[in-house]
Amino acid sequence: RGWEIKPADGEAEVWNDDVQFFNVYDNASGDHIASFYLDPYSRPENKRGGAWMDVCIGKSDACNRDVPVAYLTCNGSPPVGDKPSLMTFREVVTLFHETGHGLQHMLTKASVGDVAGINGVDWDAVELPSQFMENFCDDEATVMGFAKHYETGEPLPMEMFEKLKAQKTFNAGMMACRQLLFGQLDMELHSNFDPEAAENGGETVFDVQRRMAAKYSPYNMPLDDDRFLCTFSHIFAGGYAAGYYSYKWAEVMSADAFGAFEDVGLDNEEKVKEVGEKFRNTVLALGAAVPPMDVFKEFRGREPTPDALLRHNGLA
């Protein structure tokens, strides 16, 4: 049951000495089911910033490709001199995030290329596996398994771990309201705003902004000369038109999915394996061949609710 990741450096050509190559094997059959490149470190001279997962080889019966290969690229802190890479906690979370995308690509069971892995997944569900993986960075056993002093082996002090967890809930309510405001403002502008009426004395885009702000963030109303909308490139030039809500919706789905593991107890290894196998066979395996709501219901047994997200954010 499950699968295993093994280093395979030297089996594939790499573009930099920093890059590592890994194979993924099914534990039950021993079959090689996927591979991935990991390019973990920042190289400002020839590598753009940010972090991303991309497709190297996608699974496809038509192309006779049965072993998907992924790129996992980050910009973490590189080794310096005799010191190994001493990643920040944010860099660790980012690595978990991109690994979530990679798992959906590599563990797919869909065989039609256009719907295998991450291909064709609905916009508001594509971040589910990645944000799901971030939750493990709040799990004590997971963090303590790697957060050790690089010289002495001393584990991360519990006081520091609790502070890392506490930062997740700091101002969480205000951040939630901010995202809800942006999502609803985006939808209102792309669904109901009438530019012709605005030209004839009707409601302007800035009036819409103020109306939405009065509902979602009345404690932080925009000033009369506020022109935030002119820089809101996500919804005008970044591909999120009428889709900004997907950020918060992905948080709802990923938190609820992680809640399935919490329900059985994260310290109950056997039960966690059972839930993990179900997650692997639904969310990570079905790709876009099945509508995302049906995939979620097959995993969770119901539609998603915001309860787990509110709890994780300290709001319930």
The catalytic residues are: 98
**What sign has the CA pseudo-torsion 282, 275, 259, 103?**
negative
Query: Which position has the token pair 């690229």?
Result: 73
Within 33-127, residue ranges assigned H as helices are 89-106
CB atoms within 10 A of CB 230: 10
- Residue pair 256/300 in contact by the 8 Å Cβ criterion: yes
* Strand 32-41 with 69-76, pairing: parallel
CA dihedral 229, 235, 237, 243 (to 10 degrees): 180
CB atoms within 10 A of CB 178: 15
Query: Which position has the token pair 């256009």?
Result: 114
Dist. CA 3–CA 107, nearest whole Å: 10
Q: Which residues contact 169 (CB under 8 A, 6 or more apart)?
A: 313, 314
Q: Which residues contact 25 (CB under 8 A, 6 or more apart)?
A: 3, 4, 5, 6, 31, 32, 33
Dist. CA 254–CA 306, nearest whole Å: 10
Dist. CA 92–CA 83, nearest whole Å: 17
Q: Which of 65, 62, 63 is nearest to 35 (CA)?
A: 65
What is the residue-wise DSSP string for 162-176?
Answer: HHHHHHHHTTHHHHH
- Residue pair 103/131 in contact by the 8 Å Cβ criterion: no
